[in-house]
Amino acid sequence: MTASRSFDWDLILDRLTAFYHRGDWRVPYLRNHAENPFQVLVGTILSQRTRDANTDKASARLFAQYPGPRELAKAPKSALEKLIHSTGYYRTKARHIRATSQAILDRFGGQVPADRELLLTLPGVGPKTANCVLVFGYGLPAVPVDTHVHRIANRLGLVRTRTPEQTEREIVRRVPVEYWIPLNPVLVQHGQNICRPVGPRCPDCPIRELCATGVALRAGRTPPRKEDRPRLKRARTHRSGQSASPPARRRR
């Protein structure tokens, strides 16, 4: 690989999609729980600092009893804490979920807003949660960056950043908007299975020759050098979550 190669997002996404289509791989929580914006929002709050399996079980229990903001705003605190106990930080999460449910009723007529700035005014909602609601709840282009997306974007050589917030800003600048919606679920699944935080399985990786870290490893050097990093094409500028008709490449 040379410095002239550039990120081929179609190839990266197609390779990863085909790879995870076969075999028994872990599937990201939101891949199976998209569509209902309120449940995406609450599920993402529950998913903070816990494993997907815990989020899955707790949200199934929670939504069976309290499916929407009207029910959750009135839910007894102790009952709520008990239902979500297994996700950790359950007192804080229960407080945020009740307050956010009440705010959605009081300020937005019971509908979760499809607007990033408004979402960020809700208790317990940060950039990742707001972007998850836009992408998975409304199909609007945004870039939810969790630890998997942050780590893989750096390993690929797409960004050189220290925090998920910086990574989100750089991805928005550098990745064409039509790839934003499919990016998160594919990279999260890759991070859960192959590009793991510790001990990434680079020899098994279907995009290793498209990745700065993979290229450097094959050449016997680490960390990657500048010439290992793919060239970046400048993306069209686009404000996250503001399009009513998403130019999504595809929905997963």
Residue 6 CA to residue 77 CA, distance in Å, equals 52
| 214 sits near ligand SF4 (criterion: CB under 6 A) | yes
| 205 sits near ligand SF4 (criterion: CB under 6 A) | yes
| 213 sits near ligand SF4 (criterion: CB under 6 A) | yes
| 135 sits near ligand SF4 (criterion: CB under 6 A) | no
Interacting residue with ligand SF4 among 43, 200, 224, 241 (CB under 6 A)? 200
| 194 sits near ligand SF4 (criterion: CB under 6 A) | yes
Cβ contacts of 148 within 8 Å, gap of 6 or more: 187, 188, 190, 191, 192, 195
Q: How many helices (H) and strands (E) does the chain have?
A: 13, 0
Output the smallest distance, CB 179 to ligand SF4, in A: 16
Output the smallest distance, CB 79 to ligand SF4, in A: 42
Window 49-68: contact mask with ligand SF4 (x via CB under 6 A): --------------------
| 124 sits near ligand SF4 (criterion: CB under 6 A) | no
Residue 47 CA to residue 40 CA, distance in Å, equals 10
| 153 sits near ligand SF4 (criterion: CB under 6 A) | no
Q: Tell me the residue length of the chain.
A: 252
DSSP per residue, 105-116: HHHHTT---S-H
Closer to ligand SF4 by CB, 104 or 217: give it.
Answer: 217
* Contact stretch for ligand SF4 (CB under 6 A) within 76-84, 116-124, 134-142, 199-207: 199-207
Contacts (CB under 6 A) with ligand SF4, residues 62-121: none
User: Among 183, 178, 136, which Cα is nearest to 158's?
Assistant: 183
Q: Tell me whether the omega of the peptide bond preceding residue 223 falls within 30 degrees of 0, making it cis.
A: yes
Interacting residue with ligand SF4 among 33, 155, 249, 252 (CB under 6 A)? 155
| 34 sits near ligand SF4 (criterion: CB under 6 A) | no
| 195 sits near ligand SF4 (criterion: CB under 6 A) | yes
Cβ contacts of 42 within 8 Å, gap of 6 or more: 59, 62, 63, 72, 97, 100
Cβ contacts of 2 within 8 Å, gap of 6 or more: 227
33 touches 62 (CB < 8 A)? no
* Residue ranges in contact with ligand SF4 by CB under 6 A: 152, 155-156, 194-195, 200-202, 205, 207-208, 211, 213-214
